[in-house]
Chains A and B, each alone.
Chain A
């Protein structure tokens, strides 16, 4: 018991060390975005994956400079950018966020810094689709929760397929699963513009404006940002950024009332275009993958750290639950059962969201790491408790009696005789659970952590390569799990040996617990 308490204490300390760093410093402008959103918004620099680039990165950095504040990037999933803002993970959110009435109910928006439209794309050999009307009865792919999704729905009669990212949508267009795609024009240009099998058709569709999201109460900040946007527009700085990324359009000319010719070379766009060239040798590819290693290594470390802390927590708390359930007094036992059933009966994803985004409402604000480790740990504790319970009740009753007959107290008998034997029974399922946990830890990417799965998404969108990157990431997961697979095998081997002994007796601790006349 002492040792498990020590482990629990250690887990809590470790967890605390991740919460303490202060969340906001005075001079910072913390901005939230999702690097998995991809080019040209924000993505990892293919030349140096530890850097984030994109026209939105340049814009927010220019704004921060104008305000005299230090920009600090905070990663969060695109779907969760607005909840994350409300939860004060960062001061502003920027990532192609459309100014819509729904969004405006939740947060305030700056004046638009960019305006664009939707672009329809089809396969090059397609002759039948030239506009949205032609898409009726056809399958069209788009981004979930985006303006384009809304447009397609309102248009009606179109079979809509929703995607988390553009790359998979465009590859489905090429391989025939989709008849067309509808995406924000910048996305279309950067992700389909270089693909010889795809062509753009039809007129500009709709109009969308990107704004910077600010919490409702931060009126001063909003004023400052609006002032900065106006100043950067008038100084031509914004224009230069758009030119560098080749994002200037007639629509923008009208928006900014700026009809001058190009003000800067499209260097960033050209670099991207260079990357898209098909003549890419095997060696280049290997070199690129080698370049992934620092990013993937860091991500793997995050995955491992959160999994290990969660597992320690699960083992310690699960033990408390199991002992309460099996040997505790009635009310405690019932409480343990209620906990176990509730946790096992609800999705872990909901639990994570609840802990990270829900608990701050009652004043409990956990860092992403702590929320992730605690969320997964509390979840797995319920499963480990059941594991332990199975172990405890499968130790023959005679073992407990043997120990009691030697004048041990109940607790001494549990500690020295029953629990060590139960532990052996429990070790194989425990290690198997750790391997599941390692995989389930990919869920922490929804609460802003960059684990292996998130890093996979980021690299794959940057390089347009879900295939090779996927194999590498799968390999890393396998490698991480391998020691534990071996541990499980070894434990199973040991178990077979001990199992021979205990099978003789059939009555188990369960019967002992059930018998009221026994010495309880």
Chain B
């Protein structure tokens, strides 16, 4: 599962606040290449914001994010957002794929067109090249029969797999998922999780914000528990679920006792 010990992602003292107050409070973590990391934590604790900062949909207030050799850094929220910073953010986004809970497929384009758009527009790939790649990826996520369909005709699970293929088409070094299965009917969850397992087997580095505790425990290399904008505990799934070190982790996991963890 983890072919190397090189950290691919290094986050150092990442802070982010909105008008209402601080959302991320000095987050630091490093993640090795090929790791599959699950992030869990109560609603509103800043999980989504963390992912959005990692791919610079939100610009961090202060701290450093370094992914695959691209470093975005800011000393304080008072520092202006320079063109240089935005340029770095844009570079960083090319290395990081982000998959949303509600898919965000482009409804005016077919599944195939959804997948080839960014490679053609951003990477200036030729249509043939982009299509070849897209067909390969769509086969990989099991959508070979849906290539020319409109997104609106797909099931939720198919939509999410299409969204994953679309993100993969940019050939990212890291994939981020924000509750990728929360909008799905239970019977469709499995097919999406399977795609992530397959990618893990190929050595893709992945961070998943999820409520699928069983998946988090079984598939992840380790689990990050967040609360109130901080990383409270990072541990192996079996340890974290059976014998958490921190009182806040214990408190949070109490809600899931009924579930088979």
Contacts and interface: CB of A to CB of B under 8 A. Distances in A.
B126 interface: no
B58 A517 contact: yes
Nearest to A397: B104
Interface string B207-225: 0000000000000000000
Looking at B55, B100, B106, B117, which has the most chain A CB atoms within 10 Å of its CB? B106
Interface stretch (A72-80, A238-246, A446-454, A495-503): A495-503
Interface string B3-22: 00000000000000010000
A497 B151 CA distance: 12
B74 interface: no
Contact of A420 (B55, B90, B108): B108
B98 A519 contact: no
A421 B114 CA distance: 14
Contacts of A70: none
B122 A501 contact: no
A510 B59 CA distance: 19
Interface stretch (A259-267, A359-367, A406-414): A406-414
Contacts of B118: 403, 406-408
A1 interface: no
A505 B170 CA distance: 25
A517 B167 contact: no
Point out which of B97, B108, B117 has the most chain A C-beta atoms below 10 A from its C-beta.
B108
Contacts of A504: 102
A422 B55 CA distance: 26
Contacts of A401: 57, 100, 104
Interface string A385-411: 000000000000011011111111100
B65 interface: no
Given A416-B121, A505-B102, A517-B18, A405 B93 contact: yes
Interface residues of B, number: 29
A412 B121 contact: yes
A398 B94 contact: no
B165 to A, nearest CB: 12
A421 B122 contact: no
A498 B109 CA distance: 10
A278 interface: no
A424 B107 CA distance: 11
B166 interface: yes
A412 B122 contact: yes
Interface residues of A, number: 27
B122 A406 contact: yes
A424 B100 contact: no
B143 to A, nearest CB: 18
A518 interface: yes
B102 A398 contact: yes
A519 B122 contact: no
A517 B23 CA distance: 13
Contacts of B196: none
Contact of B58 (A402, A420, A505, A519): A519
Nearest to A520: B81
Contacts of B152: 497-498, 500-501
B94 A407 contact: yes
Contacts of B94: 407
B37 interface: no
A498 B108 contact: yes
**What does DSSP make chain B's interface, helix, strand, loop or mixed?**
mixed
A402 B122 contact: no
Most buried by B among A401, A402, A403, A405: A405
A517 B53 CA distance: 11
B141 interface: no
B59 A517 contact: yes
A111 interface: no
Contact of B151 (A398, A409, A501, A517): A501
A406 B152 CA distance: 20
Interface in A337-383: none
A402 B93 contact: no
Interface string B79-90: 000000010011
Contacts of B166: 406
B58 A518 contact: yes
A375 B254 CA distance: 70
B76 to A, nearest CB: 15
A405 B57 contact: yes
A410 to B, nearest CB: 10
A395 to B, nearest CB: 10
B137 interface: no
A284 B46 CA distance: 84
Contact of A398 (B56, B90, B104, B121): B104
B226 interface: no
B155 to A, nearest CB: 14
A417 B108 CA distance: 8
Contacts of B231: none
Contacts of A498: 107-108, 152
B106 A404 contact: no
B105 interface: yes
Contacts of B151: 501
A502 B98 contact: no
A407 B58 contact: no
Name, among A407, A424, A504, the residue most crowded by chain B CB atoms within 10 Å (CB to CB). Answer: A407
Contact of A519 (B57, B102, B121): B57
B93 A417 contact: no
Nearest to A424: B108
A404 B170 CA distance: 12
Contacts of A402: 100, 104-106
A498 to B, nearest CB: 6
A421 B58 contact: no
A407 B87 CA distance: 11
Given A416-B121, A517-B59, A518-B58, A404 B93 contact: yes
Given A417-B106, A502-B107, A518-B58, A407 B122 contact: yes
Interface of B: 18, 55-59, 86, 89-90, 93-94, 97-98, 100, 102, 104-108, 117-118, 121-122, 151-152, 166-167, 170
Top-3 shortest CB links A-B: A402-B104, A406-B118, A501-B107
8 contacts: A398-B100, A405-B100, A406-B166, A407-B94, A416-B117, A420-B108, A501-B152, A504-B102
Given A402-B106, A416-B117, 17 more contacts: A398-B102, A399-B104, A399-B106, A403-B106, A405-B93, A406-B118, A406-B167, A407-B90, A416-B121, A420-B108, A424-B108, A502-B107, A504-B102, A505-B102, A519-B56, A519-B58, A519-B59
